[in-house]
Amino acid sequence: MTAVPSAPSRRRGSGGLAATLKHAHYVISDNPVTGLAFFMLLVLVVAAVFGPFIVPHDPLASNTMSALQPPSATHWFGTDQLGRDIFSRVIVATRLDLAIAVFSVALVFAAGGIAGIAAGFFGGWTDRIVGRICDTIMAFPLFVLAMGIVAALGNTVTNIVIATAIINFPLYARVARAEAAIRRQAGFVQAARLTGNSEWRILLTQILPNILPIMMVQMSLTMGYAILNAAGLSFIGLGVRPPTAEWGIMVAEGATFIVSGEWWIALFPGLSLMFAVFCFNLLGDGLRDIVDPQRRT
Amino acid sequence: MHGVVDPASAILASAEQPHGKLLEVRDLTVEFATRRGIVRAVEKVNLTLAKGETLGIVGESGSGKSVTSYTVMRILDRAGRIAEGAISFSGIDVAHASEREMRDLRGREMSMIFQNPRAALNPIRKVGHQIGDVLLQHVQAEPRNVKEKVIDILNQVRIARPEERYHAYPFELSGGMCQRIVIALALACRPQLLIADEPTTGLDVTTQKAVMELVTELTRARGMSTVLITHDLGLAATYCDTVMVMEKGKVVETAPAEQIFRNPQHPYTRKLMRATPRPGIVLGDLLPEGEGGVAAHSAPAVATSDVPLLKVENLIKEYPRQGAPSPLFAKFTGKAVDPKDAIFRAVDGISFEVKKGESVGLVGESGCGKSTTSTIVMRLIDPTAGRITFDGQDIGAIPARSFAHHPIRRRIQMVFQDPTESLNPRYTAARAIADPLLRMGGMGGLRGGAALDDKVEELARMVGLPADLLDRFPHQLSGGQKARVGIARAIALKPDLVILDEPTAALDVSVQAVVLNLLEELKQTLGMSYLFVSHDLHVVRLLCDRVIVMRQGRVVEEGTSQEVLEAPKDAYTRELIAAIPHPPV
Amino acid sequence: MLKLIGSRLATAIPSLIGVVIVTFLLTRVLPGDTAAYFAGPAATPQAIAEIRTKLGLDKPLPTQFVDYVSALSKGDLGTSLSTGQSVAHEIATRLPASAELTLCGLIFALLIAVPFGIAAAVKQGSWIDHACRLITTAGVSLPVFFTGLLLVYLFYFRLGWAPAPLGRLDVFFSAPETVTGFYLIDSLLAGDLETFRAAAAQLVVPTLTLAIFALAPIARITRASMLHVLSSEFIRTARASGLTSKTVILTYAFRNAMLPVVTTLGMVFSFLLGANVLVEKVFAWPGIGSYAVEALITSDFAPVQGFVLAMAILYVALNLIIDLAYGIIDPRARSEA
């Protein structure tokens, strides 16, 4: 096939995107919670990108003179046992926490999405192999498997990303598989076969564009889970090492001081985690409304 | 009393009338709160139902016929409410009755049977217990004798081996059997009113006939009143005393059945009447008066030649039977598997021909193998055995997976059953129509451009799709418009053979009338052949020169449309024709 | 019924085989020197070589696998480097602590979440529905270790209602004689109400932590599936037959709505077993989770491997129970067997 795929010129420049944006605007104005989620996302992105430049103190500079101070005008979130400024550490940690989640989700989106769509569309052996891999991963409690993988691969941030991607693989592969499988025999796919599209072209032009939005929702919903998972791993001492600023490890450091009443060390990184996860969960629900208004819950 | 008629005294007055009205609805308006604001589903509806009378409420989708009946039972969902009007049922003010009073009425005095009987039953409760629940609720039985009574009711709805069926779950019963259970449930407490909401839609015609006859017999024997809600004028004509026609939430006409068919008053009723396929008419008769339609089907413009275009010989398609033990399993257990148990023949050695310029109908009930046959001819799946010759070439031997690139691909096209499902939700109408032109019409690439647009617009004109709708996505088009897009796509490459797979089954009758006429017109202009797959002999007759009747994967009868419909030779064909209800000719 | 159990057992076998293969592969095939892990961070090259021979790591892979499986079949999970104890024995003694905590958390979560989800669905749009939606969305955003710490701060430091988060039993009490390994049950069997009260007091806050974590997904799916069932056609039939709303909701809707809930329990168990590790760390709970965490910090791999395997087997068993429960509720699943 030498022909370059091209849409009829009638469609160029009009419709599609504008209509989607219009619908998105409608959904946001109809559901202010989704608007709030977008605002929260903006806050997170700003903190992740500009964090190191806007914080008032050096997140790694310890000062034993001012250790374990409660929140004050100088140290908004107080200081930890080494006298480091918790506010600065919390802001700077955003980049690392989000990066781990974004990379692992991107990885699993590509791998799980491709495997799932192939399994659903081609069926047969592809389906059986992907299904078996999913079943095997799902036979483990996921966090426990992530612990095992990080322990085996080595205690690094990269391996946290890989482990988080692996445990999320079945979620993506199964959603993609189910969506591809119901469309495999759909009328419009059959119609595309009749008009001379090859199976690969059908996969790319008919199936994929219809599944992508659903996968995007899945992505947003699992972002929160990926953040929690990575933070959980560093809470038990895997992946990120001190003195790096990361929310999970900061909560772990603060845990010792909770019983003696120094609540601020664990509280603020913990709240940041909640904020990020809550943001992506709300966003996922909102995106689902945009993609599929019928599935509103 | 403030100039308003006291509903209680009005009801009292009506109850004293000699023939006894059972149900009276006055100026009923029902509103639904939706995301787009308040929608009036039913507006100022009036109806009266006498004891023992059967009333048909007829209308197309969205006419408000189901909402009216749900309101009478007061089982509207949360979003709906009675905005105005009065409903009185044997002296009770339904609109204002307490929920407790209504509960005592429902099931005991008035009950309902639904479309899709399988979904209407609790999937994980034994059917006997479901009927028993209703009897116990209305104190028609006591725990010690409830089973006995249920079995007695199962006997009345002619369920064979009722002791056994008592313990069955809905998934273990056929669709027709499930509908009998639903009827048993509805009639268990001997109510005075039965509302049947599209009770046979989705059932095969022969099952439909049996179910309707059962309902008629039981209600007549008990002197019950019945409301039959249907989109099918033929069904209403056959089983109702009075017919009420609804359109967009309003009643347009109410009259005795005989009268409404002989002498419809309202233009909408006339249009609906004409659009209903019935014996003794031609295709053009389906359209409203003065809209003509195709010249006359009796004298085809393109003479059917004797040259066979498509020849199917001894076609067989086998599938492994669901839940059959696999051969591997058999090896383990040492038990031999009977090949008859393991394999299911969907198509069992059928042969037929379609000549150039001819329309052939492939008719049968669900599961007869007609769709499998058409999908094989379409070369989307491979046959197990048999020959398919198209214009002299053996296309059955070409695997379905590589047929997409075969030059014959463009000469065989298809119009699908569900116009919504057959359009990619992310393609505009123009993109959908252009797809075959881009792939196989040599209009791909950058050369396309303006020429492609012109071609798409020409096709849209041919199928009667306004050019300004071409930029719309499927969800912005009506059912009829989507059907036109599907047809335009199928004829874009000027195919020789178009397979029509129940192309009007999902459409309202008035839209069906237009689409059938369009198909005939296109056939005459473009000189195509049709293979029309359908369950409805009356529709097939209008469009086809010849008819093939299938049953259980085999051809039982074949002949010209006239022969098969007027003088069927096979007993099954006769049964099939007799089962189709139709308005008086 | 026996047929159902048989067929479900048969589907669990491939899962178990997969689990054994993966835990084997985790140690042997992945990059990194296994012997170095087993030897610990401070080992000399000679020591590592010795350990390699001792563990049979110089043999070909299939032979190693056979050795691994045959050791497994004897219940041998290797020896912990730091304690010198048999991993299998250690896990067996610590498992009841984890199981008691997880089960208490789950039961508590179910008791609250299911009625809550049903009430939210039945009274759709009411305050209880809005509360349910808010709590479920917020609940899944809570890091379980963080909730645990907050509750400790509140109930131990601020209010002083709960004992110090230091294990299963206060130091002044001795553990009851082991029968089931569950302190709540064993203390009652021994007739020791004081110990029972002390064990229960230690359990309350960690149970609450796990319950809050498991509550959100259960309430969410209960509400969603109840809403779905309530709008289905057979509910309309039941209402049109005049059945009371109690019968409609309990006999007709509830049992059908439980099917997706039971399925989701599998996922909830997966989360709960993972969360258990974190909660054990927060409350110094002597279960298998904290055992694994300690081993992870000292790079003591045999306990970690044994822990992953034990958790996976436990999880497969739990899924088996869920499948059976599903089969009991749904006649369609029974007939497929």
Which residues are CB-contacts of B276 (< 8 A; sequence separation ≥ 6)?
Answer: B232, B233, B234, B286, B509, B582, B583
- Neighbouring chains of A at 3+ CB pairs under 8 Å are B, C
> Residue B382 pLDDT more than 70?
yes
Q: Is the Cβ pair B120, C233 closer than 8 Å?
A: yes
**What CATH architecture applies to the domain B1-106+193-274?**
3-Layer(aba) Sandwich (3.40)
All structural domains of chain C with their residue ranges: 1-28+287-337, 95-219+260-281
- How many CB atoms within 10 Å of residue B150? 27
**Count of beta carbons in the 10 Å neighbourhood of residue A295:** 12
* pLDDT (tens digit per residue) in C172-203: 778 888 888 888 888 888 888 888 888 888 99
Angstroms from B456 CA to nearest CA on chain A: 9
pLDDT at B285: 82
- Per the model's pLDDT, the better-predicted residue between B320 and B461 turns out to be B461
Report the b/e string of B92-117 with b at 16+ CB within 10 A: bebbebeeeebbbbbbbbbbbbbbbb
What's the mean pLDDT in B231-241? Answer: 88
Which residues on B lie below 8 Å from A6 (Cβ)? 438, 444-446, 448
> Amino acid identity of B286?
L
Angle subtended by helix axes C2-28 and A124-138, to nearest 10: 80
Mean pLDDT, rounded, for C225-254? 90
Closest residue of chain A to C132, computed from CA coordinates: A297
Query: Can you give the residue ranges of every domain in chain B?
Result: 1-106+193-274, 110-190, 308-578
Contact B549, B564 (CB under 8 A): yes
Q: Which pLDDT score is estimated for A18? A: 67
Distances (CA, A) of C186 to B18, C166, C176, C200: 80, 20, 6, 12
Q: Which amino acid is at C75?
A: G
What is residue A3's predicted lDDT score, i.e. its pLDDT? 39
Tell me how long chain B is: 585
CB-closest option in B421, B444, B493 to A186: B421
Residues 6+ apart with CB under 8 A from B240: B54, B55, B56, B228, B257
Q: How far is CA B396 from CA B73, B368, B377, B391, B403, in A?
A: 56, 21, 8, 12, 10
In angstroms, the CA C197 to CA C64 distance is: 49
pLDDT digits (tens, 9 = 90+) for B259-271: 888 888 899 988 8
Separation CA C190–CA C179 (nearest Å): 10
H helix intervals, A31-141: 32-54, 86-122, 124-138
CA of C40: how far to CAs of A189, C72, C299, in Å? 57, 23, 6
**C308 and A147 in contact by Cβ < 8 A?**
yes
pLDDT attached to residue A11 = 42
Q: Which residue, A288, A258, A268, is CA-closest to A86?
A: A268
By CA distance, what is C256's nearest residue in B?
Answer: B124
Question: Mapping DSSP to helix (H, G, I), strand (E, B) and coil, where does residue B365 land?
Answer: coil
Task: Tell me how far apart the alpha carbons of residues B277 and C274 are, in angstroms, rounded to a whole number.
Answer: 65
| Cβ within 8 Å of residue B319, ≥6 positions away | B343, B344, B346
CA separation for the pair B217, B221 (Å, rounded)? 6
CB contact under 8 A, B133 and C237: no
- Asked if A258 lies within 8 A of C153 by C-beta distance, the reply is yes
Q: Cα torsion at B166, B168, B171, B173 (round to 10°)?
A: -60
C206 preceded by a cis bond (ω within 30 of 0): no
Write down the pLDDT at residue B4.
Answer: 41
Contact A270, C143 (CB under 8 A): yes
Sign of CA dihedral C77, C270, A252, C205: negative
Angle at the Cα of C181 from the Cα atoms of C146 and C278, rounded to 5 degrees: 15
Question: Which stretches of chain A score pLDDT less than 50?
Answer: 1-15, 293-297
* CB-nearest partner of C243 from B120, B134, B186: B134
Regarding the domain with residue range B308-578, which homologous superfamily does it belong to in the CATH classification? Answer: P-loop containing nucleotide triphosphate hydrolases (3.40.50.300)
Residue B130 has pLDDT above 90, yes or no: yes
Residue whose pair of structure tokens reads 């090259």 in the numeric block: C45
What would the pLDDT profile of A203-248 be if each residue is shown by its tens digit?
888 888 888 888 888 888 889 889 999 999 989 888 888 888 889 8
| Residue of C23, C91, C145, C316 to mutate for A, most A C-beta atoms under 10 A | C145
pLDDT, tens only, C52-106: 777 677 777 788 888 888 888 888 888 887 778 888 999 999 999 999 999 999 9
Give contacts of A 152-191 with B, CB under 8 A: 186-188, 190-191
Q: Does B347 touch chain C (CB under 8 A)?
A: no
List Cα–Cα distances, B75 to A290, B182, B185, B226, B248, in angstroms.
31, 17, 17, 18, 21
- Write the single-letter amino acid at C320: L
Q: What is the mean pLDDT of residues B223-240?
A: 90
pLDDT at B506: 80
- The answer to whether C18 contacts A136, with C-beta atoms less than 8 Å apart, is yes
Tell me the per-residue pLDDT of B53-68, one tens digit each, with 9 for 90 and over.
999 999 888 888 889 9
Element (H, E) at C284: none
Instruction: State the angle between helix axes of A264-291 and A32-54 in degrees (0 to 180), rounded to the nearest 10.
Output: 130
Determine which of B22-26, B359-363, B393-397 has the lowest per-residue pLDDT on average: B393-397
Question: Is A238 within 8 Å of C144 when comparing Cβ atoms?
Answer: no
Q: Do C240 and B119 touch (CB under 8 A)?
A: no
The backbone region for A55, taken as left when phi is positive above 0, alpha when psi lies in -120 to 50, beta otherwise, is beta
Confidence of residue B328 (pLDDT cuts 50, 70, 90): low
- Asked if C144 has any chain A CB less than 8 Å from its own CB, the reply is yes
Q: Which chains have at least 3 CB atom pairs separated by less than 8 Å from chain B?
A: A, C
Would the CB atoms of C278 and A235 count as touching at under 8 Å? Answer: yes
Confidence (pTM)? 0.82
pLDDT band at residue B335, thresholds of 50, 70 and 90? low
Helix (H) or strand (E) holding C130: helix C127-139
Q: What is the pLDDT of residue B242?
A: 93
pLDDT at C104: 93
A141 part of contact set with chain B, CB < 8 Å: no
**Apex CA B408: angle with CA B407 and CA B412, to 5°?**
140
Residue B585 pLDDT greater than 70, yes or no: no
Whether C243 contacts B137, CB under 8 Å: yes
Cβ neighbours around B465 below 10 Å, total: 25
Phi then psi for residue C149, to 5 deg, are -65, -40
Mean of pLDDT over chain B: 85
Q: What angle do CA A197, A203, A209 make, to 5 degrees?
A: 115
Please write the tens of the pLDDT for every residue from B479-533.
889 999 999 999 998 999 999 998 888 888 888 999 999 999 999 888 899 999 9
Alpha carbon distance A295, B98 (integer Å): 34
Q: Is a pLDDT exceeding 70 seen at residue B297?
A: no
Q: Is C230 on the interface with A (CB under 8 A)?
A: no
Q: Report DSSP letters for B151-216, one per residue.
A: HHHHHHTT-SSHHHHTT--GGGS-HHHHHHHHHHHHHTT--SEEEEESTTTTS-HHHHHHHHHHHH
DSSP structure string for A236-297:
TT-SS-TTS--HHHHHHHHHHHHTTT-THHHHHHHHHHHHHHHHHHHHHHHHHHHH-GGG--
The answer to whether residues C146 and A266 touch, using CB atoms and an 8 Å cutoff, is: yes
Instruction: For B424-441, give the DSSP string.
Output: -TTS-HHHHHHHHHHHHS
Q: How far is CA C200 from CA C53, C109, C195, in A?
A: 48, 17, 8
Give whole-number Cα distances, C81 to A145, A153, B50, C284, C292, in Å. Answer: 22, 19, 90, 21, 13
Chain A CB contacts of B418 below 8 Å: 187
pLDDT at B10: 42
Q: Do domains B1-106+193-274 and B308-578 have the same CATH topology?
A: yes
